[in-house]
A = this chain, B = another copy of it.
């Protein structure tokens, strides 16, 4: 099929002017997604992008597929109805940290446990962009913003931990500026059957500039970034300073100099039945400094998808009872006749 379609990146661009701030990380993500789409081998008309509200949620306007820019926080719910009634479509959700985790938190966790066939791209810039800079549920504690001039009080969510606690079958994290990594994660998500959550660290250069600088700056990032790969030992660092992740006697994970760690370095298993390791990995970064941050696929396991199960029930019923006849239904079993 991919050969037949011969779609290019250009086919996925629309005639609408892109209206993010110059320098916004959203541009890089858009380019990566538009670049990735042709490789999906899916016709444009069979792809739908659904978003909520936020800077990030303007995304669908720039994708030459079907699309809906809905209301704040509700995209996962709307997309669930679409995907559950149209299993033939490829449905993508674009959302922000406020959209997905503040007002939309409930829809997100329910979509995850249901395992509807949705690919959710969560643009996490740790701030409310569109409303001009209030703190978000992923902002570090103590953050000074327009709505918290004395510093925010609440501990942030870790979206990966939250998703794993919500029975997610696929959870990954990537970074706006690393196109190659981003594309590889999109690929993995697209191949996954069920709900895939991809957290994308995205720079908002206006209201939270440099939030992920440590993880991007090539001179330091290797010290802070753990690239997870299934079946590979979990290591990071640069030059002399290389570390491996090991499990401590008290069951928590720790970064240990490679030399010391030796054989005890854990090997990543994204396909483990239980999310224990994935969860432990999600706890590694310090919520304030984000170091060390694992990126890549934390978890990817198979579980029947909601939409397939629903279709199966319909097919089963039709097979057992025959396709429903309206007159029989209306008549029922308890009638009487006059005249």
A317 in contact (CB, < 8 A)? yes
Interface positions of A (Cβ within 8 A of B): 102-106, 109-110, 113-115, 137, 150-151, 153-158, 161-167, 247, 250-253, 266, 269, 272-277, 279-280, 283, 303, 306, 309-310, 313, 316-317
Give the residue name and chain of the B residue nearest to A280 (CB).
B276
Chain A to chain B: the 6 pairs with minimum beta-carbon distance, closest first? A165-B165, A106-B106, A105-B106, A153-B309, A114-B154, A251-B277
Other A-B contacts than A105-B105, A150-B313, A250-B269, 13 sampled, CB-CB below 8 A, are A103-B106, A104-B106, A105-B109, A106-B106, A113-B157, A114-B154, A150-B316, A150-B317, A155-B303, A158-B167, A252-B272, A276-B276, A276-B279
Tell me if B279 and A250 are in contact (CB < 8 A). no
Tell me if A137 and B166 are in contact (CB < 8 A). no
Residue contacts A-B, CB under 8 angstroms, 11 given: A105-B106, A113-B156, A114-B153, A115-B155, A165-B165, A247-B251, A251-B266, A252-B273, A252-B277, A274-B280, A275-B283
Residues on B with beta carbons closer than 8 Å to the beta carbon of A317: 150
Residues on B with beta carbons closer than 8 Å to the beta carbon of A167: 155-158, 161
Give the residue name and chain of the B residue nearest to A167 (CB).
B155
Whether A310 contacts B153 in the complex (CB less than 8 A), given A110-B137, A165-B163, comes out as: yes
Residues on B with beta carbons closer than 8 Å to the beta carbon of A164: 161, 165
Q: In the assembly, what is the distance between CA of A206 and CA of B277, in Å?
A: 40
Smallest CB–CB gap between A327 and chain B, Å?
22
Q: In the assembly, what is the distance between CA of A275 and CA of B164, in Å?
A: 13
Q: In the assembly, what is the distance between CA of A103 and CA of B156, in Å?
A: 22
Smallest CB–CB gap between A51 and chain B, Å?
19
Give the residue name and chain of the B residue nearest to A111 (CB).
B154
